[in-house]
Structure 1
């Protein structure tokens, strides 16, 4: 038998994570296979080629300017309102919250913290890699271009590579990376690719990015996803560390309370009433002995005996009063009695005034 404990919301979440099994048996942690290494190397070469092509003002820069002068938002203005909402799927704040909510539910169902930790690692790697290149190259956007035909590098901008595009690749691609089955992984991979392509094309349509910015954003996000298996040992250690800290925090919390788990048998409804009356009597300073005796009798009548717990010591202490025998107690006369005095009564209990008068 054990006592019923009141858990906080955080403790209930961790209690859910403690249930069996810690991780479903069919889930496979992605490994850095040869195929993935080849894709990572090819993507890295493509990434470097885009950077070199922009730095050398190659044909890629001329393509940027041609599309800039074409002004797609003026050619198809009827889809402008829709694409203003679609581009939100590439913003880091809203997309991170949506994906985090889904992965939090996955953590709850699979009893593991790995999905959320993986998302955090991916977003951290994305911010470090993309942010450093943005600030290092400092390219200006189409709306802030100063010289026609120039690459607009090192001008204090921050659009190369496209953050919206890279973020769309990582935040939606992480769902495919954490998929539990092969079919789900293929479906989510296709869906995330469509979203990432749409977000990148939308930024070009709105005129906020060059084409080369979008190409480099796709490559930057794909590099982060392909490199995630290298971080799996760190993710496993981070999860183990968080669970160890949670256990240590729980022990410190329980030791600070000084609570000792004590077994208590369940009481019946009558015993609970007697116990409640006894507690009220202790608070107001009355004699709880008869009530406690009634509770003991109710428990002994077949409803189970209650073991004395450490929580009972937390009740307020009331000093014992001297016992007064019945003869020493002050008699109390009831006020407002409606009973007539004894001298007005006869032996039959009737009032003489109401007796009928007979004789002369």
Structure 2
């Protein structure tokens, strides 16, 4: 007796994906609500407070030096192999490729370019804002510190804020931003926050960043995610222009398609001219050979034989000559 196999969780996931409609209407575009504006203002204040605390060499800088002298990679050396792999979740290249692959499949599935365009805008904002802050403040990392207790600012460094932490917040947080349901958005937001903080603490464990770098990088990435609704009109216009350009290219390609070539020997029918008077349609003229000549009627009476006539072609008769065959002109025959 054959029993029916019980569907697994993976089977249920794929069945839900198969039932997903094209361009689902229930996915709303996030707007800049009052709650989001409050969060953006609080995060911006937190960002400026960290920068000010590092600039004036406050207790945060002293905490940075204490953590650096603690050397976590020497306290827990058994975690070093795991941290080396975990910190890759904050590198821009691998994470951008993975997230872009998922969002590209989702764009193809839902017939919309919004997921990929939102990812592109967020990464562009990340490069501009975080890159400008890095090179503008020029802070040196723990491995290149010059003076104990100093904030190491404006010395040509590029580690403040932490790029790994900010990149982890943006690349994994964009999945929560584009989630289709509120429950999925909450779970993905918590997961991206924990992942990004873990990536930042991994850089502190290795010794490539100060603790304040991680806090500022986390705030910088969160500011980008909170500001994305302001760029939704730009994303919508870009999507409309790209789709319109694709439509024009398709129509232009259809207009410039080559006309069908008629096979040799097919009759070409000439249509009568359009007008008030009806004209008889001419007979079809076969292509590939000239029209036949009109028949010539000879007058009745005696005429010469075929052998005595002038050959039609310059080369004479096309038949080969045979020695045993008598020429036709040997006996003259007259038509009665």
C-alpha displacement of 1:207: 0.3
> How far apart are residue 22 of structure 1 and its match?
6.7
Equivalent runs, 1:113-262 vs 2, <5 Å = 113-258=113-258
1:82 aligns with 2:82: yes
Deviation at 1:257, TM superposition (A): 3.4
Q: Which residue of 2 aligns with 1:24?
A: 24
Larger Rg: 2
After superposition, the C-alpha distances for 1:170-220 in whole angstroms (9 at most, x for unaligned) are 000000000001111112112111211110110000000000000000000
Q: Which residue is 1:101 aligned to?
A: 101
- Which residue is 2:51 aligned to? 51
Q: How far, CA to CA, are the matches of 1:241 and 1:25 in structure 2?
A: 21
| Counterparts of 2:124 and 2:202, CA distance in 1 | 25
Query: Per-residue displacement from partner, 1:89-123 (whole Å, max 9, x unpaired)?
Result: 00111100100000011111111100000000111
Q: Contact 2:134 / 2:158 at 8 angstroms: preserved in 1?
A: yes
Relative to 1, partners in 2 of residues 1:255 and 1:81: Cα closer, same or farther, differing over 3 Å?
Answer: same
Following superposition, the deviation at residue 252 of structure 1 comes to 3.0
Query: Alpha carbons of 1:322 and 1:209: their partners in 2 closer, same or farther (altered >3 Å)?
Result: same
In structure 1, the gaps of 5 or more residues are 1-20, 261-277, 283-287, 293-317, 332-360
Alpha carbons of 1:254 and 1:50: their partners in 2 closer, same or farther (altered >3 Å)?
A: same
Distance 1:228 1:330, change over 3 A: farther
Q: Secondary structure of the equivalent of 1:131?
A: helix
Contact 2:22 2:109 in 1 (8 A): no
Aligned to 2:110: 110
Q: In structure 1, what is the equivalent of residue 306 of structure 2?
A: none
Counterparts of 1:22 and 1:236 in 2: how far apart (Å)?
18
Query: Within 1, Cα distance between the matches of 2:250 and 2:38?
Result: 46
Question: 5+ unaligned residues in a row in structure 2: which ranges?
Answer: 1-20, 268-286, 293-316, 321-336
Q: Is the Cα contact below 8 Å between 2:141 and 2:159 reproduced in 1?
A: yes
Partners of 2:259 and 2:52 in 1: how far apart?
Answer: 66
Number of residue-to-residue matches in the alignment:
257
- TM-score calculated relative to the size of structure 2: 0.72
TM-score, normalising length from structure 1?
A: 0.67
Q: Which moved more, 1:117-126 or 1:244-253?
A: 244-253
Q: How far apart in 1 are the matches of 2:220 and 2:259?
A: 53
Take 1:53 and 1:63, find their aligned partners in 2: how far apart are those partners? Answer: 11
Q: 3-state SS of the aligned residue for 1:180?
A: coil
Residues 259 and 93 (structure 1 numbering): CA distance in 2 closer, same or farther, change over 3 Å? farther
Distance 1:229 1:259, change over 3 A: farther
Q: Cα offset for 1:77?
A: 0.8
Q: The residue matched to 1:257 in structure 2 has which SS?
A: coil
